[in-house]
Structure 1
């Protein structure tokens, strides 16, 4: 292999591409090609190598002290920086398939670490930062303003701020000096409110009020705000969720520094999310709503192609899906029935984590004393329309058209009691799906009542919680690439990684009586409550993002190829960095399973 070929080879391996030309030359000069037969021991606790290995061909397995395979290394993989940096190694590296590799001298490797900070950071960072670095490397070409734009990056209008006791006429004159139609009102306690042109028309002109009244009499409190360092995409999602056209912008001290307008965010992103949102709002019949909902897939494709994080995509699509449900509920049900019940979504829909429409998980809660039968024809109609909109029916029939998922508050309370007192696998899963429920239309207090009742029933139910949490361990998570490079090349990423994180976090959230439904927010709350260490929470967030990103990418490929959408990824289509990301994510999932096993004492009930 020529020097040019060696340089090209190394440039494809992270983080060697960050080396300067001079450093790359030094690296190549002090690097040799070596051959090792199968079963050769390269590194062990008793044999610390003087070289850094980069595989050209073959495979190496890393074994723990109890002779378990903890990692495997293939073409373009490298190892073991830790033994060179720290002078010790707890595991054994053994050749699994005849090995041809580059060997970089220890002294040169250590000098490169000292000379190049980026090179050093990669090898000395913890697992979370390593994953973040790899993700940056993998998706840099896809990054756009969608992914990295902050609120500070767009136009923030100067805020016209007045005291709450300011006369309305004076406030209007001041807003004209600022050339803005928005007046920000500040209370003595520091809380901010807002007065807009439309509010002036409704509260002053139509009601015939005098302009000498204090602004606090008509201002709307509180004013929703974002931080100037927040991602602009999060501001976009908030506008859609709350159906508003502007939000306040605060600095790190909580001080109001300006107003962010809907029009400025739209011009920055220039996508048609708001067009879809507007179509849903304006839909006057089922046909209009069906037409609006068809555009959701195009939004998903566009955002994924631009490198938007899966969490942001799911949040945005989740808000749009909720609006489809709300509008459908209002179009189908007679007005007199709407407030007598609560339409809820459950499972991945309730967690706001179903991006591609894979199935329905919904139910109806009816007030006690109201005849459920009068709702059933309308629930059948809702299910039929959702299927027509592209929401596939649930294989487990967890839909409002199923009488089991359309009943009164008292009947649901009886069900949760049965789930807890006579547990079996189906009851555990029904409870898990129900716990993730989120109210989308009707009287939302009905669901709050049921959640309160559920939390009360689980008091001192340690054994039940142990069985509930045990589901986290249901499916195997590969600990090496070899485990999932099977003949079919496919791995069910939901079973291997997504479900264990979701179920484990769900179990902790249920025990801690956390009402939040999304997995990401549950993780953050568990960290705040000191249930999860900061490092473990950070690892889980990164791993959850990686596996969901790979799943979404595979699902969009299935749609592109007119295949049935599922949760499988073809491991042979993964690039080198994607494979590394997946391996590191599996490490995190495996460790999390151990944490759940220990926390709930699952081994005591097995």
Structure 2
């Protein structure tokens, strides 16, 4: 292999591309090609190597005792830790005849000292490594969508008056500020808002004088966002709340300005707002269907621009909720709406279903109301959702199924049965129901049911152990080799997504956390010291990686007109994606052990 070939090879190995030309030349000067036959031991606790290995061809397995914890293939490198710390607890053994580069230890350690980026990669924890790899993988896709902060766009100076200010004086001040928005500040440092439309309704139509204090008509509280938050989060709030402006505060909570919807939309220049407006204005089922069909284009656009999966799912979840609300209002007679609550469950309830893969929904009806009055409309609702592109649930968890359309008392009896007569189906029904989120109707009905569920689970340690044990239901590969070389596809939901979701769901249920999204549950569990800060950070990164890989795979299937599922084609994974998946599997396996220990699952059969 020529020097040019060696240089080209090294430049594709992360993090060697951060080295300058002199450092690359130094690498090549102190690097040799070596061959090792199958079963050769390269590194072990009693044999620390004097080289850093970069694989050209073949494979190496890393063992902890007799368990394979990692596998290394073409363009993979190892083992920095044993060189840096001069010790290891693991054994590295050749699995397939190995041809590799050997970089001298002295040169490797010299590079660590000379190049900070090179050093950071090898000395960072797993979370930072994953973030570094993700940055490298998606740098070409980054755009203002992903990295823009609220402070990066136009923030209008706020016209702020105290709550006792006369309305006429506040209007005069707003004219000096050249704004139609008046921010009202209370003594307790909370803020409200007065807009032109509010003046028309509360003053002109009600024939009030302009001498009234602004607090008489201001709307409290004003929705706010921090200037250091991502601009995309502001867009999500504007869409969710159906508002045209939002207050901007600094990290101390002080009001510093107003962010207008029009400025956010012009920054992103996408059709999210158009779709949201179409949904709101839809007057017929057909108009609503056409609006919902536009969601896939939004998903494709956001994913292509590097927006994190969590942000995409949050935004799409808000739009899906609006579709459900509008459909419910179009289908269900007015006199029936107030006595029921339409809920979404499972991945929809967690706001984590981006592509329409199935339906998980139900109806909760007030006690004393005839359930049969709702049945025909629920059948219509399901039929319309299927027509909109929301596939029917294979388990028939839909409002058209009488099992998922009943009164509060009947649901209470059902949750009691799930807990008292546990089996796998009951565990999963309870899990799906626990993730429920109210989208239309009387939300207090669902709150009542959640309160009742938490009360029933008090001191139910054995039940919780069985419930948590479902986290361990599917195997997570300890190596990537077995599916990279033997099995073409892997179900990323079973191997990685579900264990995180179910494990976090189990902890949230035990802690009586009402939040439904996995990401927010993780953050709350960290705040409550149930999860250590590092473990929470690892789970958030791994969850983002595996969901990103799943979404990319699903979008490819849509493009190729193939069936949408949770399988990813491992042969199409790039080098960095494979590294990200490896590290994510590590985190998932470790989390499973944490759940098993936390719920003492080894004590149950």
TM-score category by the smaller chain? over 0.9
Pairwise CA distance, 1:145: 0.5
Which position in structure 1 is the counterpart of 2:191? 192
| 1:186-585 superposed matches below 5 A | 186-585=185-584
Residue 586 of structure 1 is matched in structure 2 by 585
- Structure 1 range deviating more: 484-493 or 295-304: 484-493
Give the distance between the partners of 1:221 and 1:20, measured in 2 at CA: 57
TM-score calculated relative to the size of structure 2: 1.00
Residue 24 (structure 1) aligns with: 24
RMSD over aligned CA atoms reads 0.6
Distance in 1, matches of 2:414 and 2:482, equals 40
Q: 2:161 aligns to what SS in structure 1?
A: strand
Residue 80 of structure 1 is matched in structure 2 by 79
Unaligned 5+ segments in structure 2 are none
Q: Give the CA deviation at 1:21.
A: 1.0
List per-residue Cα deviations over 1:122-149 (Å, max 9, x = no partner).
0000000000000000000001100000
What does residue 164 of structure 1 align with? 163
Question: 1:244 and 1:486 mapped to 2: Cα distance?
Answer: 52
Q: Aligned residue for 1:56?
A: 56
2:10 matched residue in structure 1: 10
Deviations for 1:206-240, whole angstroms, at most 9, x for unmatched residues? 11111111111111111110000100000000000
Residue 132 of structure 1 aligns to a residue in which SS?
Answer: helix
- 2:103 maps to 104
Q: State the shift of 1:2 in Å.
A: 1.1
1:124 is matched with 123
Q: Distance in 2 between matches of 1:110 and 1:435?
A: 52
- 1:127-185 deviations in Å (ceiling 9; x for gaps): 00000000000000001100000001100000011111111111111111111110111
Measure, in 1, the Cα distance between the counterparts of 2:72 and 2:129: 17
Q: Deviation string for 1:95-139 (max 9, x for gaps)? A: 111111011111111111111111000000000000000000000
TM-score, reference length from structure 1:
0.99
* Structure 1 segments unaligned to the other structure (5+ residues): none
1:463-515 CA distance string (max 9 Å, x none): 00000000000000001011322534100000000000000000000000000
Give the Cα–Cα distance (whole angstroms) in 2 for the partners of residues 113 and 177 of structure 1: 59
- Give CA deviations for 1:185-208 in whole Å, capped at 9, x if unaligned: 111110011111111111111111
How far off its partner does 1:67 sit?
1.2
Q: Deviations over 1:421-468 (max 9, x none)?
A: 001110000000000000000000000000000000000000000000
The corresponding residue for 2:178 is: 179
CA distance in structure 1 between the partners assigned to 2:353 and 2:103 by the alignment = 46
Deviations for 1:13-58, whole angstroms, at most 9, x for unmatched residues?
A: 1100011111111111111111111111111100001110000000
Distance in 2, Cα, partners of 1:483 & 1:102:
24
